Amino acid sequence: MININFVPDDYVQNNESRRMNFMYIVLFVVVMMALGGVFGVIKMRQRSLAAREKAIDAKMLKKQDDIKKVDVLQTKSRSMMKTALMTAELLEPLPRSVLLASLTNNLPVGVSLVQLNLVQKESKQLRAAAAETATKFDKAVQAQQGQKGAKAAEGENKISPEKLLETQIDIEGLAASDLQVAAYIERLNSSILLENVALVESKEQKIDDVTFRQFKLTAMLKKDVHLTKEDVDKMKIGCDQAARSF
For residue 18, CA distances in Å to 7, 22, 32, 44 come to 16, 6, 21, 38
One digit per residue, the tens of pLDDT, for the chain of length 246 reads 555 555 566 766 777 888 888 888 889 889 989 888 888 889 888 888 888 888 888 888 888 888 888 888 888 877 776 776 555 555 555 677 778 878 888 888 888 888 888 887 776 665 565 556 555 555 555 566 555 544 444 444 455 555 667 888 999 998 988 899 999 999 999 888 888 899 999 988 887 777 888 999 999 888 766 666 676 666 656 555 555 554
Instruction: Convert the pLDDT of each residue in 103-131 to its tens digit.
Output: 888 888 888 888 888 887 776 665 565 55
CA 192, CA 197: separation in Å to the nearest integer? 12
Any idea which fold 96-122+161-245 has? Alpha-Beta Plaits (3.30.70)
Closest listed residue to residue 217, CA positions, set 232, 196, 241: 196
| Single-letter code of the amino acid located at 25 | I
CA 100, CA 222: separation in Å to the nearest integer? 15
